[in-house]
Amino acid sequence: MHNKAHLTLLGKSSNVGLARITTATFASELDFTLSELEEIKVAVSEAVTNCIIHAYPMDEGIIELDLEIEDCKLIIIIKDQGIGIKDIEAVLQPSYSTKEEHMGLGLAFIDSFMDEFKLISEIDEGTTLRMIKIPEQLKNTVE
């Protein structure tokens, strides 16, 4: 089974829902449970929200969402061309946030909900977040 989709979004909070629903609809091609689909939606929401808040603090930049189904795995790649992350190790710590009013749990949620999670960032170049989710009932046959 193989499929691909691409969505380009303006970094506006009103587009978080679009990213969530698009990803969940695409993912439903695989045998995810409703609970797993909810985890996927939360992970995408957190990732896109991070782009909006942190990558583009002064304007509305572009966010790229790439979705792929390959060998019964859902691959989600979210990219921005924003300011980048100075200290990736720090942002991966639960409760770390550069904004006082934020809890800093978004990446911790993503990490706990996904089977694989990778964060790549370059200052003034942007950030790429790669996530993989495998339906629980297929894990023994795919991994």
pLDDT in tens, 7-56: 999 999 999 999 999 999 999 999 999 999 999 999 999 999 999 988 98
CATH number at residue 69: 3.30.565.10
pLDDT of residue 139: 81
The three-state secondary structure class of 25 is helix
> Does 71 have pLDDT greater than 80?
yes
Range of the domain at 135: 2-140
pLDDT above 70: residue 100: no
**Per-residue confidence (pLDDT) for residue 137, from 0 to 100:** 87
CA distance 125 to 36: 32
Task: Compute the average pLDDT of residues 123-135.
Answer: 96
pLDDT of 58: 84
Name the domain count of the chain. Answer: 1
Q: How confident is the model at residue 82 (pLDDT cuts 50, 70, 90)?
A: very high
Query: Is 135:40 a contact under the CB 8 Å cutoff?
Result: no
For the cut 90, the answer to whether the pLDDT of residue 99 exceeds it is no
| % the chain with pLDDT above 90 | 69
